[in-house]
Structure formats: structure tokens, C-alpha cells
Structure 1
Amino acid sequence: MPALNKKINNFTDSVIRRMTRIANQHDAINLSQGFPDFDPPVELKNALQEVAGGSIHQYAVTWGAPNFREALAAKQSKFMGIKIDPEQEIVVTCGSTEAMMVAMLTVCNPGDKVVVFSPFYENYTADAILSGAEAIYVQLQPPEFNFDPAELEAALKQGAKALILCNPSNPTGKVFSRAELQVIAELAAQYDIFVITDEVYEHLVYPPYQHNYFAALPGMFERTISCSSLSKTYSITGWRLGYLIAPANIIAAARQVHDFLTVGAAAPLQEAAVTALNFKDDYYQQLQQLYLKKRDFFLAGLDKLGLKYTVPQGAYYVMVDISDFGFANDLDFCEWLIKEIGVAAVPGSSFFKADINHLIRFHFAKKEATLAAALARLAKLQEKLSLRNKK
């Protein structure tokens, strides 16, 4: 038989989703893959029920149902502070995963170079490989996960075509300051690159930090492809509704790519989601307060257990240091944690290009009772580690 596509040999399956499968096998509490265990807003569920009983069950317009794009443009125009044209500057996709892939395929030719901050969401490496691009990694330095402008410029000097910016960051929870974004913007203009942003956690930013949209910086809209989704904001990760926002000339090309990848996002789900896009400002304020409470509850529990971590500024992840636990690598520890403690995490090495094996990622997008149960199981960690290390 002929060989399969050789690109497949350059990346593995998703480590995050692999941890979920192992967690399910051992009935572990899943703090690995970032999805809530609570329902979306009742208004959204009711809208879906109403749509299901209606007649919207066929293809929507390939790049998004008009009423969905109009509602999305109104919401994002308000939050981003720039006027977005729903007819020419939006593509609706099957989740932000497709949005990122569309963005990469739209701007990158085979052999082009793309700058990626490390640690990074694991899909970015696969996106680069599948689009034929070469990733150049710039390190975010723990524990604050700041970057060195000189290192970033050195990467851009290698002939980069684009840069991927995840803000707030998965997995670190870092929120890039306006000053940091301005540095990136000045270098993007100087080296004439595209900036592809992943902003799915745009509404999950904790005081005193603030989210600044890169596309809204002076002169940046023309070179920015803003990718996001409804998944995290409305607790509907299974609906797979994402989007790109960019200038009309980029969107025209992105629509061609999107059309032949997935044709279009689910029409009934777009119709129902218009309800959420029309929520008032107090919804987003309550969402932030909800996750701030979850963050503080979970971090207080980690403090009681004596675990070391970096306080997340945004998103719903926390990086925990396991360097004192006596494991050869973080993957071994995460598998042991699932089987012996009953809690699932993600090995940090899956997010880093550098040889880093002492960090794991938990998420706290769970009911408080779920987080309390996870912390109760983690309370047995030191005892279990002591028994293991004596063997």
C-alpha cells in the first residue's frame, strides 16, 4: 500500500483530549480538557429548543447566516471599539479550531514562517504543519510568562509571514498588557507581517488586568485576523461556533478556504446563538465574576495543599509546578495522577517547544462542588507520593 501523508508523522493526537479519554476510563475528575460541567444560560437553551421545533434545518449561507453575522458584528464592534461590517468582514466557522486553520491557510504558502509564542495551545503546531508553514518559537518566560522583544524581533528577522497571538493565553492565563501588544504591533508593522489572534477567552480577564483587542490598536486592523468563538463565553463548547474578523480583502479569501473545509457552521445553532449575542453587558460582567470566584476558590484549595502555581490573569487554566514530586516527566505524572488520585490534568510539555517537564495544567471551568471534590482527592497527593517514592 502507498504511504500516508508524511505530515502526519510530525505531530501526535491531541494530548489534551487524550487525557480526557484516560480520565473517562478511570472515572477521574476531568480538569484537563477545558469545558464546563454546567449548562449554558437558560435563555440559550430555550432558544435552541424553539429552533429545533422550527424549520431552520438546511444550509445557512456558507460564511454565516446573515442575522448571526449582524448580531456578532454588533457585539464585537462594541467590545472591540471598531466598526465591523457583517457583510464583508466576518466568516463564521465550525469553532475557533477551524477559524485558526482557515486563517493559516489563507495567509501562508508552503515554506512560509510563522512565529508562535511558547507555551502555546497545541493546535498551533499542527496548524502550521498542515498548512506547510514552519513555526518559529519565541519563549514566554515563567513565572510571569513575559517575552523578550529582542528575541521576538530576531524571530521576525528570519522572514516570518505571520505571528500567532493567543490572548488571554492558553495554557498560562497570561493577559498581554497594552504596552506588550504595542511592542508586537510596532514590530508587525516594521516587518510587514500578519497577526493571527486567538481571543476565545476575551471575556475571562480578572482584575486588575484588562483585555485589549490587537486589531483595535492603531493601524493594526488591516493586518490582523481575529479568531474567536462562542464556546467559552456562553458555555457551549459542543456547539462549535467560531469566527474570523478581518479586512474585506482577507475575508474574501478566507471564505474560499472555509467553503471547501466545512461548507458552513450548523444553521440551527447559529439561529439559536443569536439570542446569546444579544445579551446585555451585565451578562459579561456576571460571567467574569463567576469565573473569578471559581479561580479564587480553586487557588485557595491549591494553597492549602501547598502546591506551587502561577496565578492566572485570564482564561480558566492554572499551571502547577510538579518539580518536587520525583517523576521523570510530566506525562508520567499526569497518568499516575489520573489512576492513583482520580484527577486529570494536562502535561505542560504538550504546550512548550522547550524541554520543560515540570509543569501541568488544571482548568477550573467546573461547578464549585466539582472543584471541591477534585481538591479533596488532591489532598491525598502527598501521602500517595510518599508511598510511591518509598518503593
Structure 2
Amino acid sequence: MSFALPPTKLPKVGTTIFTRMSQLAAEHGALNLGQGFPDFQPPDFLQQALVQAMREGHHQYAPMTGVVELREQIAAKVEALHGARIDAGADVTVTSGATEAIFAAIHAVVRSGDEVIVLDPCYDCYEPAIALAGAQAVHVPLRAPDFSVDWQRVRDAIGPRTRMLIVNSPHNPSGAVFSAADLEALADVLRGTRIVLLSDEVYEHIVFDGVPHFSVLRHPELAARSFVVSSFGKTYHCTGWKIGYCIAPPALSAEFRKVHQYLTFSTFNPAQWALAAMLREHPEHHLELPAFYQQKRDRFRELLAGSRFELLPVAGTYFQLADYSAISDQDDVAFCRWLAMEHKVAAIPLSPFQHQPPPGQRLVRFCFAKADATQVAAAQRLVAV
């Protein structure tokens, strides 16, 4: 009897759009404004601290929950920014990237037959993790055109099997951000339920126009039921290091760590020491990051002012949504392929972030976390489209 491959556990999943578009960019020599990574270096101090940590011998396994010094610096940062006092030992777990943290948080509490509410468009790692837990994703679309949350629709989506709600602010891919009123509305929706909140806050330090980041950690009622996920890669321009962390109250952290310890066990040790030194010695980096990226946002928008793309508002993240309706009536995946192949600029289509894209939607995402020269070169090509 010949071997038969078991049925796939992820029938709707193929190679991610980020991988496909980056490969297409490489094949056609296109400037990659698709996948969300900077093309400039991490801070010099951080790089030097990494070398120093290796020279000091931090080459073996880090503690499963993360290097103590790093967790203490995370706790201090949270208190300084949000006024929330957390226990570095019981509440903070360092992970191998935010994606691992999201996966571990979902599998810590979500069981077969449960439902998890996600807000569309949403990052593409959410639903596969939900499916692998044997659960069902319930998609609630964000409101057009500003991608704000209709909290009544979220309330209506809650049922007896709802185990978790996933929110994301600053929001990838739209750049929308939560306000204090959103936190109050969210708390009101969850009050009286046993629903766990997963708050994806990887772009926490990239919020513009003088607006603070309204983390759920600012709201004690929400923090008491939340996994809050952050990313050092986004903050320090080192996405390839794949280091993030999760903050949760002790009972949730205990369940989270049960998954984490058998998923990656521990995270790259020298980088944890380097990040602890960076947080301790140079807190101005994350405090100045909003202005740093706002300058890049504004410059990118100015460079595209003469194009046929309609640029949507950007309140946070380092992504710019653009409507290409005046250019083409192709679907967004086909348009992005054409743009990369014919005009040598890679973008990301919006539809892979959505369960049911609205009819006639013509939106793509550009990453503006690029050096000035890259922005200028890409804009010249886009203005010519």
C-alpha cells in the first residue's frame, strides 16, 4: 500500500503574500516597499552592545521567560509610558518575535470548537494559529474608509463559544490607531464576559501627530484579561533578530509559558542583553521614534503628490495605503504583480488581510520605512505609473 499524504491542516494557507512579493521584487529588480522592514541600520549602540554581549560569553540558552535584566527594563518602560506597574518576573515573557507570541497566546487559551473574533483587515498570522487550535475565526470588518472599529458589530459577533478577541493598534495594514474612547468601548463590550483579549501592539512607538499610543495596559480592566504583544524588531530597525515579548497577568502568563517553552523554549541570548542595555542607556530612541517615522511618512506622501495614487491618512505604523482606482481596474494581487514587473516597485495587496474584500476595493500597501534615497527612487517610478 502506497503512502498517502494526510489531509492538510491548513487548506486555505499557501506561501504568504509577503514572501511572494519579496521574491517577485528580487526576480525583477524592483524596489521592495512591500514587506515591512527598514533598509537602514539598527542604532550603532545596539549593534555594539550585541557584539559586547557575545564577547562576554552569552552564547548558551537564555532563561525560558527571558533574560532578567531585559524583563526588568521592559517593566520600567511600561510604567514610564503607560503608568502601569507590572511584575517583570510574573508578567513579562520574551519571545522569538511577535508572531511566536501571538501563536503562543492563542494556543494558551483557545481550544477546539472555540471562536476567536478578528477585525478585518488583519495580519495574516492570526487565522492559521486559530485554525491549528481547532477553533474558528469570526471576521468583523472595520469601517471604511478610516478603518475604525464598529464596536456594536463586535458586540453582535460575540457568542457562547467566543474565547478570544484580537485587536491591533497601531493597525497593520491601515495605520489607524485606537483612541481613549476605543479603549472604553472595548472594555464595555467585554465587561461581564470571560473573553480573553489579545492586543497586537508591535507598532506601539510609531504613532504620529502628537497622539499617544493608547495601549490596553493603560486600562486596568482590560489589562487584567489581556495578552499584550510587542516587537523589538519594529522599534529598533532589526526585524531579522525576531525578538518580541508578551505582557500578561500571572495566570495568563503561566498558560502562555506552557506553550512558549515547547515552541521555542528560549530566545537568542546575546540580543536580549543588547536590548536590555539599549533600553537602559538610550530610552530616547523609542521616545523619538514617532518624530523619526513621521518625517518619513510626510516625505513619502510629498514625493507621491504628483502620482495618480490616492493616499489614505496614516495615523501610525510605517505603512501607507494607496488607492489605485485611477490607474487600473485589476484586482490588487494582479496590480501588485504588474507594478513589480513593469514599474519595478513592490507593494502588498490588501485583500490577503481580509476574509471578504469589499467589491471594487483597489488598495495596496507601501512601506515607507526606507532610506531617503530609496523613497526618492521608488516615488519617481510610482509617479510615472
Decide: shared fold, TM above 0.5: yes
State the alpha-carbon separation in 1 of the partners of residues 336 and 370 from structure 2.
19
Aligned to 1:120: 122
Q: Which residue of 1 aligns with 2:227?
A: 225
- In the TM superposition, residue 252 of structure 1 has moved relative to its aligned partner by 1.1
345, 354, 369: which one pairs with 1:365?
369
**Could you tell me whether the CA contact under 8 Å between 1:175 and 1:210 is conserved in 2?**
no
Aligned partner of 1:305 among 290, 304, 307 = 307
Tell me the SS of whatever aligns to 2:234: coil
Write the letter of the residue equivalent to 2:70: F
Which residue in 2 is equivalent to 1:25?
27
Q: In the alignment, what sits opposite 1:389?
A: none
What secondary structure does 1:220 align onto? helix
- Conserved 8 A contact 1:75-1:278: no
1:39 Cα deviation (Å)?
0.5
State the partner residue of 1:43. 45
- Of residues 92-101 and 249-258 in structure 1, the stretch that sits farther from structure 2 once superposed is 249-258
Query: How has the CA–CA distance of structure 1 residues 342 and 148 changed in structure 2, closer, same or farther, with 3 Å as cutoff?
Result: same
Corresponding residue for residue 272 of structure 2 = 270
Check whether the contact 1:317–1:362 (CA below 8 A) recurs between aligned residues: yes
Match of 1:13 in 2: 15
Residue 262 of structure 2 aligns with which residue?
260
Equivalent-residue separation in structure 1 for 2:125 and 2:281 (angstroms): 30
Q: How far is the alpha carbon of 1:208 from its aligned partner?
A: 4.3
Aligned residues of 2:308 and 2:383 also touching (Cα < 8 A): no
Deviations for 1:172-227, whole angstroms, at most 9, x for unmatched residues?
A: 00001111121111111233311101101101000143211113213122101101
**CA contact 1:113–1:135 (8 Å) conserved in 2:** yes
Q: CA deviation at 1:12?
A: 2.1
Residues 207, 317 of structure 2: 8 Å contact kept: yes
Residue 17 (structure 1) shift: 2.1
Alpha-carbon contact 1:157-1:191 (below 8 Å) kept:
no
Count of matched residue positions in the alignment of Structure 1 and Structure 2: 381
Deviation at 1:241, TM superposition (A): 0.8
3-state SS of 2:88 partner: coil
TM-score for the superposition, normalised by structure 2: 0.95
Q: One-letter code of the match for 1:284?
A: H
Structure 1: 5+ residue runs without aligned partners? 382-391
SS in structure 2 of the partner of residue 154 of structure 1:
helix
Please tell me whether the aligned partners of residues 113 and 161 of structure 2 are also in contact (alpha carbons under 8 angstroms): no
Q: 2:236, 2:33 → 1: CA distance?
A: 19
Q: Supply the distance in 2 between the matched residues of 1:55 and 1:283 (Cα, whole angstroms).
A: 26
Moved more, 193-202 or 346-355: 346-355
Give the secondary structure class of the aligned counterpart of 2:100.
Answer: helix
Match for residue 324 of structure 1? Answer: 326
Deviation at 1:229, TM superposition (A): 1.4
Alpha-carbon distance between aligned partners in 2 of 1:128 and 1:347, rounded to the nearest angstrom: 23
Q: 1:207 to 1:99 in 2, by over 3 A?
A: same
Q: Which one-letter code corresponds to 1:291 in the other structure?
A: Y
For normalisation by structure 1, the TM-score amounts to: 0.94
- The whole-number CA distance in structure 2 between the counterparts of 1:138 and 1:116 is 6
**1:212 corresponds to 2:221:** no
Instruction: Give the 3-state SS of the residue equivalent to 1:225 in structure 2.
Output: strand
Question: 2 CA distance for matches of 1:334 and 1:104?
Answer: 31
- Backbone CA RMSD of aligned residues: 1.4
